[in-house]
Amino acid sequence: MDLQLEGKRVLVTGASKGIGLAVVRAFVAEGASVVAAARRNTAELKETGAHFIPADLSTPDGPRELVEATLALDPRLDALVNNAGGGDVPDGMFEDPLSGDDDTWTNVFALNLGSAVRTTRAALPALIEAKGAVVNISSTSARDPHTAPLPYSSAKAALNAFTRGLAEAVGRAGVRVNAVTPGGTRTNIMLSPDGYLAGVAANMGIEHSALLAALPDQSGMLTGSLIDPDEIARAVVLLASPTMPSAVGSNWTVHAGSVKSA
C-alpha cells in the first residue's frame, strides 16, 4: 500500500528511543524526510538518517525554538508527531495519594501536555499551508488512571481533550488532528531497571522481572505480551498519511484488549 508519504516532511518529538524511535523508523521507511527531536541523540536514532535537533520541550521556549529550527531547514511541514512525554518518578510517590507535590504536577503537565500544545501552536501555520496532520501520543492510563502516576494519567487525559478540541478548530483548514493511545508497550518505562515498573516492583517487594512477566495477563492483555513499539508506529504513520482524509478527531487505541469498555 502506498501511503503517499514519499518526500513528506515530518517532525517527531521524543524521538530518541521507544515509540518515538519506532515512529521515526516507520516514516523513514515510507520515504519521508524526518526531523527528530529529543533532549539527546542516541546511536539508534543516528542510524535512521533522520535530522536530529536537540530540544527540551518541557521549557516555555523549547517547542517554538524547535519548530523554528525545523522550518529553517525547509519551510514545508506535512506532519507533526507529539510523542515527547513521561517524567521522573518522585520520591515517596507510592505513599502519596496525589503522586507528587506541586512541582511534580507542573513538570509532568509541562512535558506531556504543554509540549504538545506549544509545539503544535508553533507548527500550525506551516501545517495549514501543507494541509497536514498532527498525531498526539496518549496513554491508556488516561482512561484507567490507576495504572500510572496520577499526574501523568491526568496530563494524558487532558491531551485527549486537546486533540479532540483542536481537531474541531482546525479541521476545516485542512489539518487533521488525531491521537494514538498505546497500552502496555515494550519501552524503557516498562523494561529499564530504573523505570517506572521497576519502582512499582520494588514497592511491592517483588522482582522486576517477575512483575514484567505477569503484567500482560494482570492487565487483561489478550495477546499475553506487551505491545511492540513498531505496532504503535504503524498506527501513527497511517493517521499521518494523506490516504486517510476522513480520520479526523480520532483516538486509535492499541491496547491488546486491556481496555474493557466499548
Output the tens digit of pLDDT for each of the chain's 262 residues. 899 999 999 999 999 999 999 999 999 999 999 999 999 999 999 999 999 999 999 999 999 999 999 999 999 999 999 999 987 776 777 788 888 999 999 999 999 999 999 999 999 999 999 999 999 999 999 998 887 889 999 999 999 999 999 999 999 999 999 999 999 898 888 878 887 777 777 878 889 988 888 888 888 889 999 999 999 999 999 999 999 999 999 999 999 888 877 6
Of 89, 85, 101, the residue nearest 196 (C-alpha)? 89
State the pLDDT at residue 262: 65
Domains along the sequence of the chain with CATH: 9-185+229-246 (3.40.50.720), 188-226 (no CATH)
Report the alpha-carbon distance of residue 25 to residue 82 in Å, rounded.
15
Tell me the pTM: 0.94
Residue 96's SS3 state is coil
Q: Taking the alpha carbons of 90, 91, 97, 103 in that order, is the dihedral positive or negative?
A: negative
Report the alpha-carbon distance of residue 108 to residue 86 in Å, rounded.
7
Q: Which residues are catalytic?
A: 138, 152, 156
Cell of 153: 494519567
State the pLDDT at residue 193: 82
How long is the chain? 262
State the pLDDT at residue 194: 80
Residues 6+ apart with CB under 8 A from 34: 9, 10, 11, 12, 24, 27, 28, 48, 50, 51
